[in-house]
Structure formats: C-alpha cells, structure tokens
Structure 1
Amino acid sequence: MKKIDVRGYRFSYVDEGHGNAVVFVHGSALDLRYWNDVVGELSRSFRCIALSRRHHWPVPPNVVPSTYSAIEQTEDVVSFLEALQLGRVHLVGHSYGGYLRARIAAQRPDLLKSLTLVEPGGKIAGMETARSLAEFQQEALELIENGDNRGGVAAYLNSVCGEGEWQKSPVELQQISLANVNSVQLQMQDKSRPPLTEDLLAQIECPTLVMVGTRSPSPFPETAKRCAEIIDDCKLEFIQDSSHLINVDKFDAFIGILKRFFSTRF
C-alpha cells in the first residue's frame, strides 16, 4: 500500500500493473480493499489504482474527525489524479464513489478516457423514486451513535443492498465495513451534499458505462436508467441476480463487462 499527501491529507492507495490507468473509487462504508479482487484480475492488462477516500480506512494518525463533504471529496480525487500525473484515465466509481465520479467527469473532462458508474449513489434532482433511504439511514445513524456499530453498519448497508444482504456478505466485506463505521456516521451527518442534476450529467462527454443489479433496491435502478438516458455516449448494463455490491455478487460478470467496454471503445 502506498501513501501520498494531497490537500493536507495522507491518502492510502494501491497501484498495480502496467498499461492504461484504471482508477477505482469505492462507495460508502468501504475502502480501497473493496477492489482487491478486481485489481488483482485487471492488473494483468491495465495499471490499476484504488484509493481510500478521506475519512475511510486507514485514517492517518492524529487526524481529528471533521465534516464529510461531497465537494471536498470530489476535489480530493481530482488532486489525487493530478498528483500522480496519470493523464487521461478510465475512472470507475461505485455508489457514492459513482456520484463523485459523475461530478468529476462533468467538471474535468480533460482527466478522463472513460467513465464507469456502478450503481451511482443518490437520486437525480427532481426525479421520482419508489423509495427513500432517509428513514433507514436515520435508524443506522442512531444505532451507531448509541454504540451499536455492527447493528448500525448492517442497517446502513441493508438499506442500499436489500434486507439481510449485509449478513449474507463475505466476512471480509463485513470487516471492511466495520472498519469504516466512523465514515458512515460522518457521511450521514452531511446535509450539504448537492444532488446530481440533469444539466450536470448532460455535460459528460466521455464514453460512459452504467451498471445496475437486477436485485438492487430503489433508488439505484431509477438513477442508473436516468443517467443512461441523459449522458450522450452511454451504455447501460443490467447485472442479473445482483444487488448493490455488483463486483461482490457477480464478480465474473462485472469483470467481463469492464473488459469488453475497455477493449471495444479504446
């Protein structure tokens, strides 16, 4: 694991393989280890980089917990890409990471060869969804604040994956999510996160791939479908029998789709 100081924070990341750079950004309650198997497979053909976002494992020593800001996290990734001098990259983001990557693609097209949004988080401003996550995530926040970290993390991830999905997930993934309980608490306290907008998504110019699981709960299917309708050069892929954590649920399908996207478009 490597370290780099960017914008006053020491970020941890992995950097494996050679060739065109693919940069992976994880979602909520996760960290760079979420991509371990993906990096292990794709680094045979690409230079694969995965970073842990601010406030996620391993938090640098002596860092005082502070506010969780989507704007700050977006700027973090931009500065990280610039610091590594990667040129244009294939940028892959999952959930909250997909939300951030969409903002980067719209604002800094000079940094991207392509964009992959894996179940992009949240909803698009003005869009109707079948379900709101607010009630479920408030329950998760209260559990964590009352000292029940395991219950809080389970409630949070079940809210985005489906009831009982966290309990069925691999032990390694449960351990990763528990190691990021503080980031969950900080994120859910953030009331300033700007939603994705149709105008912002319409600014994305690079080839884009959107993935969504057929078992994924609302609002992720609605958001994924609308992203694919708005972004000009966009392919939408449905992953059969997968919930929100697609590369965990259906690893082979996830890898195969990514490889085909990269090989046919570049």
Structure 2
Amino acid sequence: ILTKCDTQNWQGYLQAHRLRRAYFRSFGATATDHGHPTARTENLSCEDAAALFDKVVRGQASPQEAERFRGQMLTEMARMSLEDSMVMQLHPGSWRNHSPTIFSAYGRDKGFDIPKSADFVGGLKPLLDRFGHEKNFTLILFTLDETTLSRELAPLAGAYPCLKLGPAWWFYDSPEGMRRYRELVTETAGFYNTVGFNDDTRALCTIPARHDMARRIDCGFLAGLVATHMLEEAEAHQVAYELAYSLAKKAYRL
C-alpha cells in the first residue's frame, strides 16, 4: 500500500524496502537498525533467494528456512546500504518474552527479554565475504553477550574495515558494564574502531544522564591509561573528545 510495489515477489519486496529507506532518508535518516535473534547472515544467489522467498510468502517455509531467510535479509540490507550510503546497525542476541506465563498474562515487553549467547564470527561470515571490504559500507555491531567482546567482536572490528563496535547496550548500559566494555575491546580494537556513545532509548529524559555517565566512565578509563603511562595526558584529552563527540558523528555520517 505504501510503496505500490508487488511485495508478493522477491524483486518487488526488495524494491519496497528501497523506497521506504529513501522515504526516511528524505527526512534526514542516516542509519538503519536491525534487531535479530542472532547474527546469522546468508549470501544466496538471486535464484535461490527468490525461491526461498516464495516458500516464505506461501507459508511453506520450515523454521530452518525462515532463519535462513532472516539471514539473507541482513545481507540484502547491507547491499542496500552500499546503494544509499545508510549506516547499518545490528542488535542481536535477545530472547524476547522468555516467560510464557508473563507474556500470556501481561503481553510483551514486561521485563522478560533475556540476553543469550551469540556467534558473530560464523554468523557474519557470509555477509563479510560479500561486503566486508567495501569502502562505502559501515556495519555497527552491538552485543548482549559480553563473552564475545574480546573473543570475537574486537578482533573482527580490528580486521574488517567496514565494522565498528557500538557501545555497551541494554543490560550493560551501566557504570560497570561500560568499564568492562572498554577493558575488553580496547586492547584489540582500539578506540577508533568504536563509535563513542549513542543512545536510542525511548526514556527521553534519561538521555543527558546516560551520556554524562558514559563520558565519566570513559574519562576514568583514560585516566588509568595516563596513570600507567600508556597514554600521554594530551592524547587522553583528544581521545575523550573523540569518544564524546567526533566518533559518533563520523560513524553515523552526521
């Protein structure tokens, strides 16, 4: 209805996405955000993707095929980001509405969204095989699985030019969560493969306090590096400015 595209066929469905992206870009949007259960991606041929889409539309896809389609759509979103220069964000790893008792009694979003383990190295490989070295593509990764920060995400962001690490998110958007984040990612990914601090909360009145907290935690981390002679004080001042302002502005093409 919105796009007048035939969304019952694969190419029409993709074109509808392109038109809606263009609509939001016309109002100043510079990034997309994708909330998925996992970081799984696929890189199917056009023919295989169209055949899979047909099964999904007809309601004949198995759960495994539905997940495969979800993964293919992440790769299609990456392709569109190359076309329209929108930054791509991925927030995977939440088991939504974990308690059926609470969900049936009160509905969704009642405190039972729980972090779960994530596989970024294997999950993102099809997408990175296709677009990982494209100069005009940026993918910002977030995680609810802290164990992946030093083991997977920091090495990936240090290796692939398209990848950046988003700040500590949701359960870890806290003083200790932010400290652990810096300790786990900085040695391998550095500061400039992160995007500083951003905030997509709907609790609008908390935004100034959250940014203030993030800046204090980052400055405390930098002070430790100065005290141990790993950074000069002037360098720490510059990095603090980058973390508070410049990195986010650059990453989101503002």
TM range (shorter): 0.3 to 0.5
Point out the structure with the larger strand share.
1
User: Quick check: which has more Rg, 1 or 2?
Assistant: 2
Point out the structure with the larger helix share.
2
TM-score (norm. length: structure 1): 0.39
TM-score (norm. length: structure 2): 0.40
Larger RCO, structures 1/2 (Cα 8 Å, 6+ apart): 1
